Chains A and B, each alone.
Chain A
Amino acid sequence: MKRTTVITALPLLLAAGIALPLAQGCKPANTKSAVTGDAASKVYVPPGKYDEFYNFVSGGFNGQMSVYGLPSGRMLRNIPVFSVDPEKGWGYSEETKPMLMTTHGFIPWDDSHHVEPSMTNGVADGQWMFINGNNTPRIALIDLTTFRTKTIIEIPNSAGNHSSPFTTPNSEYVVAGTRFSLPMGGDAQRDVPINTYKENFKGNVTFIHPDRETGKMSIAFQITAPGVDFDLSHSGKGPSDGWFFFSCYNTEQAYELLEVNASQRDKDFIMAVNWKKAEQYAKEGKGKMVPGKHFMNHYSDETHMATSEVVEQVLQLDHKELKDLLYFMPCPKSPHGCDVDPTGQYIVGSGKLAALIPVFSFDKMIKAIEAKDFEGEFDGIPVLKYESVLHGEVKKPGLGPLHTEFDNNGFAYSSMFVSSEIVKWNVQTLEVVDRVPTYYSIGHLCVPGGDGAKPWGKYVIAYNKITKDRYLPTGPELSQSAQLFSIDGPKMELLLDYPTIGEPHYAQAIPAELIKDKSVKLFKIEDNKHPYVSKGEKETKVVRDGNKVHIYMTCIRSHFAPDNIEGVKMGDEVYFHVTNLEQDWDVPHGFAVKGAANAELLIMPGETQTLKWVPTSVGVKPFYCTDFCSALHQEMQGYIRVSPAGSNIPLTWNTKSADAGL
C-alpha cells in the first residue's frame, strides 16, 4: 500500500485537474515539527505509571495487530492474527495451526486494515477487538482478557475484504463487503471472460454474528449487491441504528486500468443498507441457501487448542427480489472513508478525488426514501437525489480526503492524504476551524472512541504512509510513523512522533480502565482440559502410537520432566506436549529442540502447547528453555536420543522422581 499510494499520488492530482502550484500544501514540510510548549510533559509517563489509553493498531501487510499505550506511544504487545509468529509459536504449534486454515488450505499471511471494538450502545465495551484480513477474506476476533486471537471466520463469495470489520451499535453484527466484485455461483458461472464484468460480476455484503458468550462467529446472512467495488463502511447509531453505510467506487464497472477507468464519473455511491429489515427477511425465510464454503476457527482457553468448523452454505438475500434493503446516495469522486458522526445523524463520505467533503443527513435520507425522491436506478437499486439527502458540503477542506473521526464536541477530523494534513471542521456548520500538517501523507486517523456514540476525545493520532526522514535511517525499508496530537484546545497541537510496525491503517483507542483489570494473568492448571496435559510431574510419560511418539512433559523453574528420552527412531514423528506448571504471573517457559522445522513454543503458566518434531538424523539431540526463567535457566535443558529406523532401543524416559533418594 505504501508503495502504490506513493505512485498514485501524482496521477490523482492530475486526474482531479488540480494544477501543481495550487498544491502548495501537498509539499510535505521539512522535518522540523512545530512542537511547542510543554509537549514533552503531556506524553511523559514515568516509569511504573500506566498509560491512559490502549491503542489497538492494525498491522497492515504484517497481518497482525499491535498494541500501544497512549500518550506515551510505548509499544506493549504485538498480537499475531492472520500471520504466523515464531516468537509465540503462533501458527507453528499444533494447537494454533487450525486458526489459519481456510478453504485454500493453511494461509500464514494476510493484509489486515481495520480495527473495530465490540460495542454496547455504540460505545466500545472492552470485550473484543475485531480486525479484517483483506487478501484471503477473513475476520478475526481478539479477546481483550488474553490479548490473543480467539476466532477467525472466513468470508465466502468475497474478494478483498476491505469494508470490514465494522460493527452495529451492540455488535449484533460485524460486516464484510467484497472490494472486488466477482462472478459467483458454480464452476460454470465462475469460469467466464473478464470482459463480461457488467454481465457476470456481482458484489455482496455479509453480516456476521459474534456470540457474546463463546466468542464464536457465524454468518447470519449475505445480501447481493451490484458489481462495483465496496470500500469502507460504518454502522448507523442512535436515530440511524438499523442502517449500515458502505462507500462504493468503480460504479463505472471497469475491470482494467481502474486508476483511469474507475475515475470517470462525477459521483459514485454511498450504499445504505437497512440491516434490521434484512434481519427480518432472513428470519421470515425470504433468503435462500447458496454455496458459500468457509472455515470458522476458534481457540479454546480450556483445551488450549483451536478447532476448525467447515460450513458449506450461506443464507443469501437477493436485493433484486427484496427491494427495500439497499439505497444509493450519490457521493462525489470515488469515496473512500464512510463515517457516521456520534449523533448518528450525519454520514460523511470522503471522495478521494473530490475538492469537498459531502455530509449526508440521515433524516433527509429517510424522507427521500419515503417520498421516493429518486433520480433513477442502478442495477435495481434506487438512487436518491444528491441534493435531497445532503446536509451540506465542507468546502475546500484540503486535497485527498480519506477518513473522518469525531470528538464529543461536535467536531470532525478528516485526514487529507495528498495535502498531508488533518483538518478539523464543525459537523453542523461545516466550517473548517483548524488544520495541522502531518509528516507525511496521512492515511487513517484515530480519536479515542472516535467512531462511537461517545468519543473520549483528547487526542487524534495520524497514521502516516510515508516516513522518510522522521527517524534515524535504517536503509531503504523504514518503520511507519504515527503522530499524536492534542485536541483539547482550539488548535491541534503536535505532541509526539512514534514508530509503528507493519503498515497501520485504522486503529482504535479506548480507556485503560475498560480493559486492564480484566486481564488474565495465568491459566489455572486445574482447569486445563488439553488432551495431552500433564497435571504434575507424576503424569509425565512417553507413549508410542505407531510412528508417532507423544511426550507428556512438564516445565517449572527450572527443569523439564522428563529431560532424558530414548527409544525414538528415524521415521518417527515426535510430539512434545509441554505443560507449564507455574501458577504465577509472567513466568512463561519456552521450548526449543535442535533442528525443529517450525519454531519455539512459548508456554504460559497453566497452559499446554505442542511442538511437532521430525528427527532428520541419528544422534542425541538437545532441547532447552528459551525464555529466561530463573538463575538456573541455563540449566533448564535435556536430551532426546534418536536411533536408526528399525533399531530395538526401548522407549524409556527419566522422571526426576521427586521421591527419589528418600
Chain B
Amino acid sequence: MVKPIFATATNFEPEKQGLSMKTRTLRMNMLKGLGLSTAVALMVACGGGEGTDQAAGTNTAPEAAAPAAPNADLITADQVKFAETIDQGKVAKGKEIYEVKCQACHTLGSNRVVGPGWKGILDQRKPEWIMNMILHTDAMLETDPEAQAMLEECLVRMPNQNLTKDEALDVLEFMRTL
C-alpha cells in the first residue's frame, strides 16, 4: 500500500535534511509509517519529481498541488498560553481522549511503553512542542531534531490520531495534572 513512496521520492537526499545515516536506514525500514504527505513533502523539499509535461494524467496529488512547507502550520509558543488555574472540565475531557487514543502507547508514569510516559512531561517538553507532536506528527518527525531523536529511541513512528486543536489542548490540560 505504501510502496510507491520510494518510487515517488526519487531524489530523496537525507543528508541535505540533516539526517544521519542511521535515521535514513530507519526510514527505509519503516515503510508503513511513511504517509503520502511525507513522501510529497520530501519530494518538494528536494526539488524533485516535477517536469511532467508529457504526462497523461491531469490530476495532481493534492499535497503536490499545494506544496506548503511541512512546518508552515506549526503551532508557536504564543499560541499556547496556560491559564493560571487548571480547568478541571478540560482535564476530564483530556483524560477521556487519552484513554481512547493515547493510552495504548503512553503510561501516566515515567516509564516508556511504546512512547514515553507522561509523568512530569511538561517539565521536559514545551507545550507547543507537544501540541505539534499531536497535531503535526509527520512534519515534526521530518524536521524536528528532538522528535527524530525520540523516533530513534522508540522505533515506532508516533501515529497522528487525528485530534482537533481543541482536543489536543484538552490533552495538554490533562498533562498539567501529571
A→B interface (CB under 8 Å):
41-52, 69, 71-72, 512-513, 516-517, 522, 524-526, 535-538, 554, 556-559, 561, 581-587, 627-633, 656, 658-662
- Name the B residues within 8 Å of A632 (CB-CB): 155-156
Q: List 28 A-B contacts (CB under 8 A).
A: A41-B56, A46-B49, A48-B4, A48-B64, A49-B55, A51-B57, A51-B59, A52-B57, A72-B57, A525-B101, A526-B100, A535-B99, A536-B100, A557-B114, A559-B114, A581-B100, A583-B160, A583-B162, A630-B30, A631-B26, A631-B29, A632-B156, A658-B103, A658-B104, A659-B109, A662-B108, A662-B110, A662-B111
Chain B residues contacting A554 (CB-CB under 8 Å) are 104
In contact, B54 and A44 (Cβ under 8 angstroms)? yes
User: How far apart are A553's CB and chain B's nearest CB, in angstroms?
Assistant: 11
- Determine how close the nearest CB of chain A comes to the CB of B37; give it in whole angstroms: 9
Is B105 touching A556 in the complex (CB atoms < 8 A)? Answer: yes
Q: How many A-B residue pairs have CB under 8 A?
A: 152
Is A586 a contact partner of B1 (Cβ separation < 8 A)? yes
Query: Nearest Cβ in chain A — how far from B129, in angstroms?
Result: 20
Chain A residues near B104 (CB-CB < 8 A): 536-537, 554, 556, 559, 561, 581, 658
B162 and A52 within 8 A (CB): no
* CB of A626 to closest CB in B, whole Å: 12
- Asked whether B160 lies within 8 Å of A49 as measured between CB atoms, the reply is no
Majority secondary structure of chain B interface residues (helix, strand, loop or mixed): loop
Q: Contact at A661–B107, with CB atoms within 8 Å?
A: yes
In contact, A49 and B61 (Cβ under 8 angstroms): yes
Which of B61, B99, B160 is the one whose CB lies under 8 Å from A584? B160
Q: CA A513 – CA B65 in complex, angstroms?
A: 14
Smallest CB-CB A-B distances: 7 pairs: A50-B59, A662-B109, A45-B57, A583-B161, A583-B162, A536-B100, A556-B104
Contacts of B163 in A (CB 8 A): 583
Residue from B32, B111, B155 having most chain A Cβ neighbours under 10 A? B32
CA distance A46 to B7 in the complex (A): 10
Of A50, A628, A656, which one neighbours B61 at CB under 8 angstroms? Answer: A50
**With a CB–CB cut-off of 8 A, which chain B residues contact A660?**
107, 109, 111
Q: Find out whether the CB atom of A628 lies under 8 angstroms from the CB atom of B32.
A: yes
- B8 shortest CB reach to chain A, Å: 4
8 additional A-B pairs beyond A49-B59, A52-B59, A659-B107, beta carbons within 8 Å, are A44-B56, A45-B57, A51-B57, A522-B162, A536-B99, A556-B159, A581-B104, A631-B26
Q: Tell me whether B8 and A47 are in contact (CB under 8 A).
A: yes
Measured CA separation A660–B112 after assembly (Å): 10
B52 at the interface (CB under 8 A from A): yes
Bin the interface of chain B by size.
Answer: 35 or more
Q: Is B145 an interface residue (CB 8 A)?
A: no
**A interface, over-half SS:** loop
Q: Which residue of A lies closest to B29 (CB)?
A: A631
Interchain CB contact under 8 A, A661 and B56: no
Contact with A along B7-22 (1 / 0, CB 8 A): 1101000000000000
Asked, given contacts A48-B8, A51-B57, whether A630 binds B162 with beta carbons under 8 Å apart, the answer is no
Interface assignment of B92: CB less than 8 Å from any CB of chain A: no
Tell me whether B108 and A659 are in contact (CB under 8 A).
yes
> How long is the Cα–Cα vector from A558 to B54 in the complex, in angstroms?
42
Smallest CB–CB gap between A422 and chain B, Å? Answer: 20
Whole-angstrom CA separation of A583 from B101 in the bound complex: 8
Q: Which interface residue of A581, A585, A658 has the most chain B CB atoms within 10 A?
A: A658
Least distance between A77 CB and chain B CB atoms (Å) = 11
Given contacts A47-B10, A48-B64, A658-B113, contact A631 B156 (CB under 8 A): yes
B52 partner residues in chain A, CB cutoff 8 A: 46, 49
Contact of B157 among A44, A526, A583, A630 (CB under 8 A): A630
Decide if B40 is an interface residue (CB 8 Å cutoff): yes
Return B144 CB to nearest CB of chain A, in Å. Answer: 18
Q: How far is the CB of B160 from chain A (nearest CB, A)?
A: 5
The reply to whether B4 and A43 form a contact with Cβ atoms under 8 Å apart is no
A630 CA / B163 CA spacing, docked (Å): 21
Asked if A47 and B109 sit within 8 Å, CB to CB, the answer is no
Determine if B54 and A41 form an interchain contact, defined as CB atoms under 8 angstroms apart. Answer: yes
Task: Please indicate the chain B residues that have their CB under 8 angstroms from the CB of A46 in the complex.
Answer: 49, 52, 55, 57
Contact: A658 with B55, CB < 8 Å?
no
Q: Take A48-B43, A661-B109 as given contacts and tell me if A557 and B56 are in contact as well, using a CB distance cutoff of 8 Å.
A: no
Interface hub of B57, B60, B163 (most chain A Cβ within 10 A): B57
Question: With the chains together, A230 CA to B31 CA distance in Å?
Answer: 51
Question: Which of the residues A43, A50, A583, A631 comes within 8 Å of B60, measured between beta carbons?
Answer: A50
Tell yes or no: B176 within 8 A of A by CB: no
Contacts of A582 in B (CB 8 A): 159, 161
B58 in contact (CB, < 8 A)? yes
Tell which of A69, A522, A537 touches B103, judged by Cβ atoms closer than 8 Å. A537
Tell me, rounded to whole Å, the shortest Cβ–Cβ distance linking B149 to chain A: 16
Give min CB distance, B64 to chain A, whole Å: 6
A48-B56 in contact (CB<8A) = no
Q: Which residues of B contact A587 (CB under 8 A)?
A: 32, 159
Determine if B68 is an interface residue (Cβ-Cβ < 8 Å): no
